[in-house]
Amino acid sequence: DGGKTWGDAKRTSAGVWDYSWLTDVTEGVHTLTVEATDVAGNTVKETMSFTIDTTLSVPLIALDSADDSGAKGDELTRVNRPTFLLDNIDNDARHVTVEVQHGSTREVLKATQSASGRWSFTPVGDWADGQYTLTVKVEDEAGNIRQSVPLTVTVDTQTAIDGIELVNDHGISGDNLTSALRPEFRVTTPGDVNAVRLSLDGDTSWVNATKNAAGVWEYSWPDDVGEGKHTLTVEATDAAGNTATRTLEFTIDTTLSVPVITLDSADDSGNRGDNVTSVRSPGFTIENIDPDANRVTVQIAHDGSSREVELTQTGGRWHFTPDSAWTDGSYTLTVKVEDNAGNIRYSTPLDVKVDTHTSINRIELVNDNGVPDDNLTNEMRPQFRVTVPEDVTVVRLSLDGSGGWVNATAGATKGEWNYSWPSDVGEGKHVLTVEVTDAAGNTATKTLDFRIDTRLSEPVITLNSGDDTGVPGDGLTSRAQPSFTLQDIDADVVRVTVSVEHGGRTETFDVLQGAGGWIFTPAAAWTDGSYTLKVTVEDEAGNIRHSAPLDVKVDTQTAIDRIELVNDSGEPADNLTNDVRPEFRVTVPEDVNRVRVSLDGGKTWMDATKASAGVWNYTWSSDVTEGAHVLTVEATDIAGNTATRTLG
């Protein structure tokens, strides 16, 4: 203060004195007055002008906008020797340095002031990519030091496109071949990429991909892209403004031929093209397979289940044969072809029937006229019916191993075939051979033994002699249940009947052979009258013969209608006569063929004489004694019936 107030300095060593001001001295220029007094009392004064300066601005550092290649203010640059601008540097700054921290490396570099007074910093060498933290340190002439807020800058001088993927690459993965006309792409980039755009086949127009996740960008073409080869160009730009370009060659292929599967002709054992086979492991030919097919499979469906078999081309030929024998039944085969582009085509399903055997269910002699199913007929032209599975297409017949075959005709009912022999087949035993062939070509053979028999003896019926009570052979009997003998009955006869006609009514009775032969006896007594009997016989072959009719009359009774004393000389009808040789007239039924008389109670008989139908006479040939007598008359008819009457 110009000597108004003094402060004593303190001797620190010989000739050296120090003083520290005890209170703050204000900013600005000051004059210090120093007075020194020696031991002799001499004094001397001297002044010194000094300045107190405690103020220094805090410096600022910023990336030069020309090198801020990313978004403004993002402190990203693709410049490997970027320039930084330093602001807020006071004019009295005498040292301006920049501390650069990169990883574990730290260095301090001098800033540069331009002629215009602008401070800046540019690395003397190229920086590698990475993060750099820069701090500005300023020192003024007063020794004040200020540091800037650290500035972290990322140097990113390059970017990349890690991968381009054809998302709908439907065929072989990674072959960049697709069947999709609207391809989809996925671009993989570093996480700091902020724009991805695409162009097709050198077109100058670009489309922007969409960011799906960090480092993953996608784009689906909105319109159809034509068949053939294409080049996709992808450009990626990162936050630092670096760009990278990459291309992808890809092909669109939507064309694939429809495959065709057919049963091998050698295994098509039935009619050509009917796809019926008798081969249990049939072969199939697959055609119309394009050269770029990379997978060919056959799907086989059978009995509610299916399986898939992958095929391999052998010798330039696609072929399929089951690795194990198939059981009989229906199979549906469908070929699936997939090419490198992922196109898939299916063949028209092929229905195949495996039929490895056939059979003959039955051979029937249709005109088996006798006992059913005994294969015996009386027809010289036999008819046959063959029953077979419905898929049989040919039935042929041969007789007695002749080697000549005739074809049967399919009937209205499926599985039935008929044949009638057109000419007479001889009597006796025969063997019919039947051969059938089904749609698959399978054959089966079966034989039928049959016999033709057209011969049968004519039967004969006679009244048993024991019951022929009249004149033998007159067909008259007095038996109400007469027996009849049946003769000429062949051994192969299966039925014998006797029809009996009486009074306009006919009944038929079955007759069985007994121990005594063929005998017919009515089960119930017949009434008197006429009966006509006829025998019918049928043999195993169905032959039928009838006997000549046999007329029989049953007459179980007779009568004596009247006994008359012809020479009754007194009162009429008083049976009193004066003639010792009486004459009698007997009236009887006309069928009476014998009348005899007796006067001694039947001990002695005399035959009367037939005078006319039903009238018989007898005149005693010797004298009869006086007195009462009893005449006994016996009449016998032609059936053998007798009647007795007396006259007293």
> Which two structure tokens, joined as six digits, stand for 72?
């403004």
* Residue 101 pLDDT class (50, 70, 90 cuts): very high
Q: Using one digit for the tens of pLDDT, what is the confidence trace for 474-514?
A: 899 999 999 999 999 999 999 999 999 999 999 999 999 99
Q: How many helices (H) and strands (E) does the chain have?
A: 0, 59
* Residue 611 pLDDT class (50, 70, 90 cuts): very high
- Average pLDDT of span 293-317: 96
Classify residue 4: in a domain, yes or no: no
* Residue 163 pLDDT class (50, 70, 90 cuts): very high
Q: How high is the mean pLDDT of the chain?
A: 95
Classify residue 3: in a domain, yes or no: no
> Residue 465: its pLDDT value, please?
92
481, 516: one domain: yes
Q: The domain that contains 229 carries what CATH number?
A: 2.60.40.650
Q: Using one digit for the tens of pLDDT, what is the confidence trace for 344-401?
A: 999 999 999 999 999 999 999 999 987 889 999 999 999 999 999 999 999 999 999 9
310, 372: one domain: no
Query: What DSSP string describes 279-339?
Result: -SS--EEEE---TTEEEEEEEEEETTEEEEEEE--BTTBEEE--SSPPPSEEEEEEEEEEE
Given CA atoms 369, 375, 377, 382 in this order, what sign does their dihedral have? positive
CA gap 618, 596 in Å, rounded: 9
> Residue 23: its pLDDT value, please?
87
CA gap 480, 485 in Å, rounded: 16
CA gap 625, 495 in Å, rounded: 68
Q: Give me Rg for the CA atoms of the chain.
A: 74
What is the total count of domains within the chain?
7
Contacts of 328 (CB under 8 A, 6+ apart): 354, 355, 356, 357
> Residue 370: its pLDDT value, please?
77
CA gap 242, 161 in Å, rounded: 11
> Residue 160: its pLDDT value, please?
96
Residue type, 494: V
Last residue of a domain, one of 434, 452, 470: 452
> Residue 321: its pLDDT value, please?
98
What percentage of residues in the chain have a pLDDT greater than 90?
88
> Which two structure tokens, joined as six digits, stand for 269?
């054992």
Closest to 377 in 3D by CA, of 365, 387, 395: 365
pTM above 0.75, yes or no: no
> Which two structure tokens, joined as six digits, stand for 164?
């381009």
- Average pLDDT of span 141-166: 96
User: Which stretches does DSSP call E strand in 161-227?
Assistant: 163-166, 177-178, 184-188, 193-200, 207-208, 210-213, 216-220
278, 313: one domain: yes
* Residue 528 pLDDT class (50, 70, 90 cuts): very high
- Average pLDDT of span 292-308: 96
Has residue 320 got a pLDDT over 90?
A: yes
Are the C-beta atoms of residues 635 and 592 closer than 8 Å to each other? yes
**Residue for token pair 């004593």:** 8
> Residue 258: its pLDDT value, please?
98
Classify residue 410: in a domain, yes or no: yes
> Residue 571: its pLDDT value, please?
84
Has residue 173 got a pLDDT over 90?
A: no
> Residue 470: its pLDDT value, please?
80
Classify residue 1: in a domain, yes or no: no
Are the C-beta atoms of residues 584 and 624 closer than 8 Å to each other? no
Q: Using one digit for the tens of pLDDT, what is the confidence trace for 3-24?
A: 888 989 999 999 999 999 888 9
* Residue 443 pLDDT class (50, 70, 90 cuts): very high
Last residue of a domain, one of 122, 155, 188: 155
Give the Å distances, CA to CA, from 294 to 79, 297, 460: 51, 10, 94
CA gap 195, 626 in Å, rounded: 179
542, 594: one domain: no
Give the number of other Cβ atoms within 10 Å of residue 516's Cβ.
8
- Average pLDDT of span 628-646: 95
178, 141: one domain: no
Has residue 281 got a pLDDT over 90?
A: yes
Structural domain harbouring 530: 460-554
Classify residue 5: in a domain, yes or no: no
Provide the CA 486 distance to its chain's centre, in angstroms.
Answer: 69
43, 80: one domain: no
198, 118: one domain: no
36, 100: one domain: no
Classify residue 427: in a domain, yes or no: yes
> Residue 312: its pLDDT value, please?
95
394, 443: one domain: yes
342, 410: one domain: no
Are the C-beta atoms of residues 469 and 639 closer than 8 Å to each other? yes
326, 413: one domain: no
> Residue 269: its pLDDT value, please?
87
- Average pLDDT of span 19-43: 91
Last residue of a domain, one of 98, 120, 155: 155
CA gap 562, 645 in Å, rounded: 9
Measured at the CA of 226, the angle between CA 171 and CA 288, to 5 degrees, comes to 50
Classify residue 96: in a domain, yes or no: yes
Q: The domain that contains 92 carries what CATH number?
A: 2.60.40.10
> Residue 71: its pLDDT value, please?
85
CA gap 400, 197 in Å, rounded: 93
**Residue for token pair 């007459």:** 555
Has residue 171 got a pLDDT over 90?
A: no
577, 634: one domain: yes
Provide the CA 97 distance to its chain's centre, in angstroms.
Answer: 90
